[in-house]
Amino acid sequence: MRAISYNLREHKASDELEDLVQRYAVDLLCLQECDASDLPATVGDLQLAIATRENRLGLALYYREERFTAIHTRAMMLKKSLHDRVLAPAHERLIGLQLIENQTNHGLVVGSFHAAPLTASNSLRRKQIHASHAELLGMGTGVATLMLGDFNYPFFTQRLTRHMKDSGYDLSLSDLRTYTRYRVFRGHFDFATSRGLDIQSVETLPRGASDHLPILVRAEYSPMNSLAPVAA
């Protein structure tokens, strides 16, 4: 399967979505910093499954109906940073979509995630990531999970990788940096965490109108018996 994750920079890059979906023939589209009131019901061959309604910096998920059947969606709140409490940019920082693949009957849970900004600590973001994984796991126990988005975690990613391994998830960075607007903050902000999937590649796509570059994830299902119990 192919999935794109893109932080639209307060919806500024929304006009690029149709071309991205067609050009890369994706099955899933995970968005951050979008305006739900201005999102189309379809982008190319993809159908809108869920979008946050209350967020200034919204989240959305699209899927290919020809390939998947949507079962359930959820929007979820996570532990708030001081930035969230003062400026209230986002009430929900995670949305989830439970799917069944039509031909193979494989189950899949997909999440679009937007972590607290760099004004928060890495410790808080790790808590948000762990909480997000727990929420997605609750949507489909024993099925593959893919969470894409803006993790706001450009530094100390090796430590984050160890945390993910300990909790039964893989972390996959893209081949090139995904944020280069400010010299001091350049790095991998947008990436993937997964469970029960073989991530074949994560490719940083060309820059558009956003300060983030979109990423293209190619993945295959792993054998279901590879899904070990998740650590508490």
List, in order of start, the domains of the chain with CATH numbers: 2-222 (3.60.10.10)
Contact 50, 61 (CB under 8 A): yes
pTM of the entire predicted model: 0.91
Phi, psi for residue 207 in degrees, rounded to 5: -65, 145
For the residues 186-197, what does the mean pLDDT come to?
Answer: 90
pLDDT tens track for 64-109: 999 999 999 999 977 665 555 445 555 789 999 999 999 999 999 9
pLDDT tens track for 125-162: 899 999 999 999 999 888 999 999 999 987 667 788 88
The 3-state DSSP class for residue 71 equals strand
The bridge status of strand 58-64 relative to strand 28-34 is: antiparallel
Contact 34, 11 (CB under 8 A): yes
Q: Assess whether pLDDT exceeds 90 at residue 175.
A: yes
Total length of the chain: 232
In the chain the beta strands, taken as DSSP E runs, fall at: 2-7, 28-34, 42-43, 46-51, 58-64, 68-76, 94-101, 107-114, 144-150, 170-172, 190-195, 197-204, 215-221
Contact 211, 181 (CB under 8 A): yes
Q: Assess whether pLDDT exceeds 90 at residue 22.
A: yes
